[in-house]
Amino acid sequence: MPKTYQPNRPDNVDYLEATFRKIFPQDSDYRDKATARLEQLTMPHWALGDLMDLAVDLAGMTRSMHPPVKRKRVVIMVGDHGVTAEGISKYPSEVTAQMVHNFVNGGAGINALARQAGAEVSVVDMGCAGDLSALVKQGKIISKKIAAGTENMAHGPAMTRTQAVMAVEVGIEVAERLAPEVDIFATGDMGIGNTTASTAIVAAMTDKTLDQLTGRGTGLDDEQLEHKKEIVARILQMNKPDAEDGLDVLAKVGGYEIGGIAGLIIGAAAQQKPVLVDGFISTAGALIACKLEPLSGIISSAPIARWSRDMLLCRRSSAVNRCWTSTFAWERAPGLFWP
């Protein structure tokens, strides 16, 4: 069995609370300076829309009129899910470890996107059921394994509350470790079964229905999709996660990689580093982060909770999502301040 992660810090330090105390709202002075600068440009008022909003946000987040954006890092959090035993995915959990090897070898879709964006990719083993120790020894991935996958949440909590805290703390540690060499983080994930966990999280924390939230994941047909909805409904009924307690939601219906994403967002916020939240699983992690520390969830002048609900309903194309598929916005937004 692969060695599991053990915190490397004094037990009497409340690591989460200490991190929360480092997080502040966007700097209003820099936001005002950025807005004033943009309004001086020779163009119709706010003609570039979301791009200009993003420029103001970057100034407020980084407290700089020259926000750095060159050093980009995608952090892929990895974890398996015991709920795959319920037949909610077309693929077995072994695929999680196989995909990690694909990431390391540069052959996955995220690698292609990262190359296009000029971004580095880091892979973190939060709870893969497979043995990735060889990749750890080779220095190709970061090992923070809490357990070899979660428990089957269709029969009880996915993890203990202690493990949930540990998952978030690990994400914070990863952000702190990488922050000196990163200007902008992006979230990534891998874990067969994690769309089921994410659906349960978002259903528990928003007013969205399972019909709205439940996706086909790995390519489920209609019958399999209905089965997945039934399983998520059973998960929520059995575990009754407290929507006002992010750690309770994570422990009962979450995943180690989702907790890691939440921690990465919180840790990056404490380091005044913007985070690009991409995809449904990362959105679930962002909701957890926002519940634990609301100031970590401010992006595009709106709480992540509201932004994610809009994204899930596909009412608008988020500036954040557009930035990921094209490097233009991240590279050009700070350039709006000075030619």
The predicted structure's pLDDT at residue 328:
42
Residue 101 lies in a domain: yes
35 occurs within a structural domain: no
Q: Which two tokens stand for residue 147?
A: 């357990």
54 domain-assigned: no
- Enter the pTM of the model: 0.89
Q: 3-class SS at 76?
A: strand
Count of domains for the chain? 1
Within a domain: 52: no
Angle at 83 between CA 78 and CA 87, to 5 degrees: 115
54 pLDDT tier (thresholds 50, 70, 90): confident
Among the listed residues 183, 118, 207, 167, the one whose alpha carbon sits nearest the alpha carbon of residue 4: 167
- Cα distance from N-terminal residue to C-terminal residue, the chain: 56
**pLDDT score of 74:** 96
Asked if residue 207 belongs to a domain, the reply is yes
Q: What is the mean pLDDT of the chain?
A: 86
Name the least confident of 75-79, 225-229, 280-284: 280-284
Query: CB atoms < 10 A from the CB of 144, how many?
Result: 25
Q: Which domain holds residue 133?
A: 70-319
In-domain check, residue 187:
yes
Domain membership flag for residue 259: yes
Which strand ranges, in their side-by-side order, compose the sheet holding 119-127? 142-143, 119-127, 72-79, 184-190, 275-276
Q: Is 23 within a domain?
A: no
Give the domain CATH number at 123. Answer: 3.40.50.10210
| DSSP string computed for 209-237 | -HHHH---TTT--HHHHHHHHHHHHHHHH
Average the pLDDT over each of 53-57, 95-99, 108-112, 146-150 and give the range with the smallest value: 53-57
> Range with the lowest mean pLDDT among 19-23, 40-44, 177-181, 297-301?
297-301
Whether the Cβ atoms of residue 16 and residue 291 lie closer than 8 Å to each other: no
280 backbone dihedrals φ, ψ, rounded to 5°? -65, -45
Taking the C-alpha atoms of residue 46 and residue 25, their distance in angstroms, rounded to an integer, is 23
Q: Cα–Cα distance between 26 and 295 in angstroms, integer? A: 9
Average pLDDT on 21-32 reads: 92
DSSP 179-213: GGG-SEEEEEEE-TTHHHHHHHHHHHHSS--HHHH
The neighbouring-strand residues paired with 142 are: 124
